[in-house]
Amino acid sequence: MKVLIAGGAGFIGSTVASACLDSGITPVIVDNLVTGRAEYVRDRLFYEGDIADGALIDRIFADHPDIAAVVHAAALIVVPESVSEPLRYYRENVAKSLELISHVTRNGCQRYLFSSSASIYAPGADFTVDETSALRPESPYARTKAVMEWVLEDCTNAYDLRVISLRYFNPIGADPKMRTGPQHPQPSHLLGRLISALDAGEEFHITGTDWPTRDGSGIRDFIHVWDLARAHVEALRRFDEVLPAGGASSYDVLNLGSGTGTTVREFVAAFQRVVDRPLRVSDAPSRPGDVVGSYTRTDKAAAALDWSCDYTVEDGIRHSLEWSSTHRRQLLGE
């Protein structure tokens, strides 16, 4: 089985590619390397270019007519940046994605896994959500994901296309075999900022401490990136069971998270346990685009994919630190 992974040189896409390889699925990768890393696609079937380039996508399908599915993991993902550069985010995450869908359907590929985001949810009263929960995307980044879900669902009603939208919660960690990991030397997400503060000997700021949670900090569902990648493999293998050709529906949604809510303060405490090094911590105001957060109920994904998480938050922190310690200079271009 071959799959086309759009954005396969990024953190998520490259890890999904590794999981595919380990399970006997051959990934074919397209990435423009704007944020992806060339070394993450070394010795893999790789085409450098943009997902909106129709001639390139046509060539990939001509070279690999046995591609059975597409994994769409190409997107910009930094929430504060999306607030300051919304046009860039709509251009990269929406406009170019429309072109990719057009190219994919033109080439007759019917199975499509879309990398969506839990950031589109409105938090429930107890901060848990499932696939039927209300949506309220708060940032331009989150809105691009919501828009693309609506587009894809409409496309399944008009074209010979079946789509599973995978709503990611908060990926952490790295490939346990250390083949790939987070590709940004100065990441903006919580774990990346903790690692940066620890390395620099700087104080870490918990941004947002007056949310209505058990300790005032935001709440998240942290999922190890390898568990996330394994879910993609199961979704590919079971695609026709989840969405049978000619079935009642051609569109479905699955939440991919650990099912456990961890507050930012609790995550910082777990980080300090893993590193066993002093880290100064203080409170700070929320950043633009920050939300209280949520965590998922996992019943639907567990039933559809026969899948659950193997790794803990501490495992994710430990693997991220291992990746950072061995690759940080490379990512910084030193």
Token couple for 210 = 């007056």
Distance CA 56, CA 58 (A): 5
Distance CA 181, CA 18 (A): 11
Placement of tokens 């590193």 in the chain? 275
Element (H, E) at 304: helix 299-305
**141 catalytic residue (yes or no):** yes
Q: Cα dist. 284→84, 118, 219 in Å?
A: 20, 24, 16
Cβ burial of 203 (10 Å; 0-12, 13-18, 19+) is exposed
Token couple for 33 = 């390397």
Q: 89, 90, 141, 251: which is the annotated catalytic residue?
A: 141
**Closest by CA position to 257, among listed 149, 76, 153, 118:** 118
Token couple for 2 = 């071959």
Q: Cα dist. 106→55, 58, 103, 168, 300 in Å?
A: 12, 9, 5, 28, 31
Bridge-based pairing of strands 219-220 and 262-263 is antiparallel
**Closest by CA position to 190, among listed 42, 110, 293:** 293
Enzyme catalytic residues: 141
